[in-house]
């Protein structure tokens, strides 16, 4: 039990870390730090950096939460800790 | 039907709906009063969270601020949405598993200390109270501008409506009215946006319209806007920064962390049946929020373009904006212009006495531009535009029918009332549950606590109504403090309570206080001590934004880092955490055995 609990938590932290990396790269990365460079690329009428800052990062945030929720559900089942 | 009558009808109908829901959803127990009985469907909770979250500021002011700031306005867009990712992964499911009624409940159990609880309650009360002043003034503003009654009458009517469903229904009444209010506000926000996007670009979806070709030209919407604002001496729309990049980075981070730490948002996730639901419900909340937040930048850019092309006809035709006849004559200004002049949101001052309106950036430092304005005989910007007008007057600027204008009035009220109700619940539960039941009157019965909750709610409504009618002149600056406190004290402490098994009460309290004082110090340096004018002291540190050019709005994230650092340093110097607390943390980390939220111990 002790061992499996540790492994469960390790997996959860790994998932959170991965989601946060994407979260950071699309908002702070593409939307702020590299926005001026990305602006040279056009997405329709949007400069790409501007699009990430005012549109794209929000869509990605939504997707990230649902992906996280789904993968957490899988980890819960794998370790048999889900709610009955 | 006249515009005024239509507005009365639409607003009246929405109010009748909220009161109807209030009668249906009365609270019979503390559990219903604090967490709506714990059986709210995750999608319904997401919708209620959306309405709870989107305030008068989001609905009325945000698009205007983005329109004014351009690209840099993205700090609000990302800041006020990205926090939900943090909330969904780091706090909501675990606090739901913990299964109590309030946020300070968690502090009491996890940090086994009344001091920690009191610090949490103080942060909660300060953050929620400063926030609610803005909502109440928003209610007054919406009433006075659309319904032609005085500000104070507006606030009293708003208080009466909230009273009915918040005092009797508690969280249960609030939740289901928020679901209704979400629909009112989102329809009111998107319909004008769809119309305007279609008018300007031929694409009815605002999110796509913003990236489309501007009708009647061969230029993309944003390209056109960049040209126009450039021509008129403003910073380029798609790249304008608020200060510097670091400031934009930190302001975004502070809003994100603050969002995740605001108690009135967190407690919404105590109302769902399962831990699993808390995770998905955060996703649904963000879906409903994203509908408005991805529309706002389109509204912002299109309204800005509309406004410029109304004032300067050369904008539309692509001619010379400096030509004399390009600026419209004041006497020929449109009807909506006159209507909003009365409210003071638009002000014209004919500086060069030519009877025409020149609207441009007279603070530009570009010598070439200044030479052109000098040659044209412009003697300063003649139009001052309040940011709020972008959303409020947009339907009129775009010549939409009266029912759309009425809908915007109802939507603004829904946004302000739903957020006010959520904040009132956070305030009243902190008083009746955390202070009375858990600390000073431990033998309070269930019935007594429910009554205390209702009295606290009623008192909070009256108090916030009073503040709404007599807003302290610092009210506008307090958003920085609300988010700063949530980011620098509440969020780090909650996170460490879950993710560190060894964090003890000494560390948590020291961290919270350090984050709190650092943030207050920085904010007060700019605004005056407790907002008293004349007591600003930033000059002693080398001028405004003295910490690497970061504005007070962006300091919450720095406060959070200070909180974490101090907490771990103090923890390592003091007695370790008791073993039963470490076991409790282990237990909080797994979903099984969550059960429904209870106030029991």
Residue B191 banded pLDDT, cuts 50, 70, 90? very high
Nearest CA of chain A to the CA of B49: how many Å?
Answer: 14
CA B546, B80, B211, A20 torsion: positive or negative?
positive
Closest CB to B591: pick one of A23, A35, A83.
Answer: A83
Q: Is the pLDDT confidence value at B594 over 80? A: no
- Which own/partner pairs from B119-124 qualify as long-range (CB within 8 Å, at least 24 positions apart)? B119/B489, B119/B509, B119/B512, B119/B513, B119/B516, B120/B434, B120/B489, B120/B490, B120/B493, B120/B512, B121/B430, B121/B434, B121/B435, B123/B485, B123/B486, B123/B489, B123/B490, B123/B512, B123/B516, B124/B263, B124/B426, B124/B427, B124/B430, B124/B490
Does residue B600 surpass a pLDDT of 90? Answer: no
Distance CA(B239)–CA(A51), nearest Å, equals 11
Chain A residue numbers touching B245 (CB-CB < 8 A): 32-33
Distance (Å, whole) CA B138 – CA B465: 11
Inspect the interface and report whether the beta carbons of A83 and B297 lie closer than 8 Å: no
Closest CA to B224 of B314, B315, B303: B315
Percent of the residues in chain B that have a pLDDT greater than 90, as a whole number: 42
What confidence tens digit (pLDDT) does each residue in A6-55 have?
899 999 999 999 999 999 999 999 999 999 899 999 988 899 999 999 99
Entry pTM: 0.92
Contact A46 B210 (CB under 8 A): yes
Tens of pLDDT, residue by residue over B548-574, are: 888 888 899 999 999 999 999 999 999
Q: Please report residues of B whose CB lies closer than 8 A to that of A36.
A: 239
Question: Is A43's Cβ below 8 Å from some Cβ in B?
Answer: yes
Of the given ranges (B133-142, B192-201, B423-432, B588-597), which has the lowest mean pLDDT? B588-597
Mean pLDDT of chain B: 88
Question: pLDDT digit string (tens) for B518-553?
Answer: 998 998 888 777 777 777 888 888 788 888 888 888
Distance in Å, alpha carbon of B237 to nearest chain A alpha carbon: 10
Task: Please give the average per-residue pLDDT across B317-342, as a whole number.
Answer: 84
Mutation choice for B interface testing from A15, A25, A44, A69 by most B CBs within 10 A: A69
pLDDT tens across B438-492, in order?
888 888 888 888 888 899 899 999 988 888 887 765 555 566 678 888 999 999 9
Q: Is the pLDDT of residue B310 over 90?
A: no
The residue of chain A with its CA nearest to that of B67 is: A54
Least confident stretch, B257-261, B358-362, B480-484, B566-570: B480-484
B183 pLDDT above the threshold of 50? yes
| pLDDT at position B338 | 85
pLDDT of residue B472: 66
């Amino acid at each position: 039990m002790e061992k499996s609990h540790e492994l469960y938590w390790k997996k959860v932290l790994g998932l959170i870390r991965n989601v946060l990396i994407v979260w950071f790269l699309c908002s702070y990365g593409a939307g702020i730090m590299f926005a001026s460079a990305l602006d040279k690329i056009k997405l329709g009428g949007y400069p790409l950096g501007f699009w990430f800052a005012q549109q794209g990062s929000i869509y990605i945030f939504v997707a990230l939460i649902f992906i996280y929720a789904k993968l957490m559900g899988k980890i819960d089942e794998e370790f048999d800790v889900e709610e009955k | 039907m006249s515009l005024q009558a239509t507005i009365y009808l639409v607003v009246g109908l929405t109010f009748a709906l909220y009161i109807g829901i209030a009668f249906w959803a009365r609270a019979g127990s503390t559990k219903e009063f604090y967490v709506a009985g714990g059986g709210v469907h995750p999608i319904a909770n997401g919708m209620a969270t959306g309405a709870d979250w989107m305030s008068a500021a989001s609905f009325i002011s945000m698009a205007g601020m983005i329109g004014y700031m351009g690209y840099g306005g993205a700090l609000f867009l990302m800041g006020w949405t990205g926090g939900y990712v943090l909330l969904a992964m780091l706090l909501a499911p675990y606090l739901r598993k913990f299964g109590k009624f309030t946020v300070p409940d968690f502090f009491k159990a996890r940090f086994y200390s009344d001091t920690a609880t009191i610090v949490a309650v103080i942060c909660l009360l300060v953050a929620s109270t400063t926030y609610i002043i803005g909502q109440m003034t928003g209610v007054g503003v919406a009433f006075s501008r659309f319904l032609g009654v005085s500000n104070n009458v507006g606030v009293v009517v708003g208080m009466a409506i909230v009273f009915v469903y918040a005092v009797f229904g508690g969280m249960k009444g609030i939740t289901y009215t928020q679901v209704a209010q979400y629909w009112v506000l989102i329809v009111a926000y998107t319909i004008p946006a769809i119309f305007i996007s279609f008018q300007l670009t031929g694409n009815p979806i605002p999110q796509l319209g913003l990236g489309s070709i501007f009708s009647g030209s061969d230029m993309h919407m944003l390209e056109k806007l960049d040209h126009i604002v450039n021509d008129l001496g403003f910073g380029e729309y798609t790249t304008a920064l608020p200060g510097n990049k670091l400031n934009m980075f930190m302001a975004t981070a502070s809003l994100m962390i603050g969002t995740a730490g605001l108690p009135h948002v967190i407690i919404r996730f105590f109302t769902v049946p399962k831990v699993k639901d808390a995770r998905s419900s955060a996703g649904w909340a963000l879906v409903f929020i994203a509908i408005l937040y991805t529309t706002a930048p389109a509204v912002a850019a299109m309204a800005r373009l509309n406004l410029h092309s109304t004032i300067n006809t050369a904008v539309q035709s692509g001619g010379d904006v400096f030509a004399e006849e390009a600026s419209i004559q004041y006497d020929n200004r449109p009807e909506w212009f006159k209507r909003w002049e009365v409210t003071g949101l638009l002000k014209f001052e004919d500086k060069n006495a030519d009877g025409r309106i020149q609207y441009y950036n007279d603070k530009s430092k570009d010598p070439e531009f200044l030479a052109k304005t000098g040659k044209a005989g412009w003697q300063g910007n003649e139009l001052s535009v309040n940011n709020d007008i972008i959303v409020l007057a947009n339907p009129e600027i775009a010549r939409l029918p009266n029912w759309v204008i009425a809908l915007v009035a109802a939507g603004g009220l829904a946004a302000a009332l739903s957020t006010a109700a959520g904040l009132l619940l956070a305030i009243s539960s902190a008083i009746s549950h955390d202070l009375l039941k858990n600390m000073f009157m431990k033998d309070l019965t269930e019935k007594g606590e429910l009554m205390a909750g209702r009295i606290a709610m009623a008192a909070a409504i009256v108090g916030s109504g009073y503040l709404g009618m007599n807003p302290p002149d610092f009210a506008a600056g307090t958003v920085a403090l609300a988010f700063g406190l949530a980011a620098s004290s509440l969020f780090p402490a909650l996170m460490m309570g879950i993710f560190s098994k060894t964090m003890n009460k000494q560390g948590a309290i020291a961290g919270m206080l350090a984050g709190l004082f650092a943030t207050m110090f920085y904010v007060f340096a700019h605004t005056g001590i407790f907002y008293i004018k004349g007591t600003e002291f930033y000059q002693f540190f080398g001028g405004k934004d003295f910490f690497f050019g970061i504005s007070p709005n962006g300091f919450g994230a720095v406060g959070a880092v200070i909180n974490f650092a101090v907490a771990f340093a103090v923890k390592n110097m003091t007695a370790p955490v008791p073993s039963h607390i470490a076991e409790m943390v282990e237990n909080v980390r797994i979903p099984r055995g969550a059960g429904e939220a209870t106030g029991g111990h």
